[in-house]
Amino acid sequence: MTLPIVLITGQLLTEAVWQPLRAAWPDREMIVADNRSDDSIEDFARRLLDKAPPRFILIAHAMGGFIAFEVMRRAPERVAKLVLISTLASADGPAQTARRQGYIDLVESGKFDQVVEERIPILFPEEKRDDPHLVGIARQMAADTGAETFLAQQRAIMARIDSRPRLGEIKVPTLLIWGEKDGITSRAHHEEIAGAIPGARLETIPDTGHLPTLEASERVADLVAKFIDG
């Protein structure tokens, strides 16, 4: 039996980030989890599990990874395979908290558009920051998310727990994907996760930033297809 795929999207992103994968597998059942209706990682995970099929493959990007770790703590028996893209397992440190508070201050002063523009350099490598197609998608996803949802997501991220102590409890086959020019997560973040989850594999995509499903869609689709069907 072909299991359905549940997709968890990152902050300030929408299901558009998954469109290349959905186009690559038009006959596969794919469900995009709700990342808009709650303001805690625990509630995002609870909502996902309430709505998801009894057993599924879980693919998570960025903030979605934080939710995926919570899903694995709550209901590991329901997940057959796990794909983690551009994420990390630690909680925020002081520098990250200060940066996120700066974003909140901008939004609360009516400068949500400035937040979006400040994120472009950390989403994309320098050579892609003038790509009208990629940057246009990022701006549109942010606009579709909106300021209030962004603030709720930000609160959830800032309050998340450190998932590293329980990574070793994840027993399902796990694939990590990281773009080597990601300005938000690092190789060390991914190697830390891969080293802690038994049997996990890390794939690095050259010349790619934080949004590999958009920047290197064919490569990502190929990696994920071989992993979930292998």
CB neighbour class for 1 (10 Å; exposed up to 12, middle 13-18, buried from 19): exposed
**pLDDT range class, residue 171, cuts 50, 70, 90:** very high
**pLDDT range class, residue 51, cuts 50, 70, 90:** very high
Asked whether 172 and 82 are in contact (CB, 8 A), the reply is yes
User: Would you state the pLDDT for residue 151?
Assistant: 95
How does the average pLDDT of the chain come out, rounded?
96
Q: Please write the tens of the pLDDT for every residue from 10-38.
A: 999 999 999 999 998 899 999 999 999 99
Exposure of 100 in the CB half-sphere (CA atoms within 13 A): 20
pLDDT at 99 over 90: no
Q: Please write the tens of the pLDDT for every residue from 199-227.
A: 999 999 999 999 999 999 999 999 999 99
Order across the sheet with 174-179: list the strands.
30-32, 5-8, 56-61, 79-85, 174-179, 201-205
**pLDDT range class, residue 230, cuts 50, 70, 90:** confident
Of all residues in the chain, the percent with pLDDT exceeding 70 is: 100
In order of 147, 149, 154, 173, the CA distances from 177 in angstroms are 29, 26, 23, 14
How long a stretch of residues is the chain? 230
Q: Six-digit token pair at 58? A: 């879980």
CA 136 distance to own-chain centroid: 19
Domains of the chain: 5-92+154-229 (3.40.50.1820)
User: Would you state the pLDDT for residue 208?
Assistant: 98
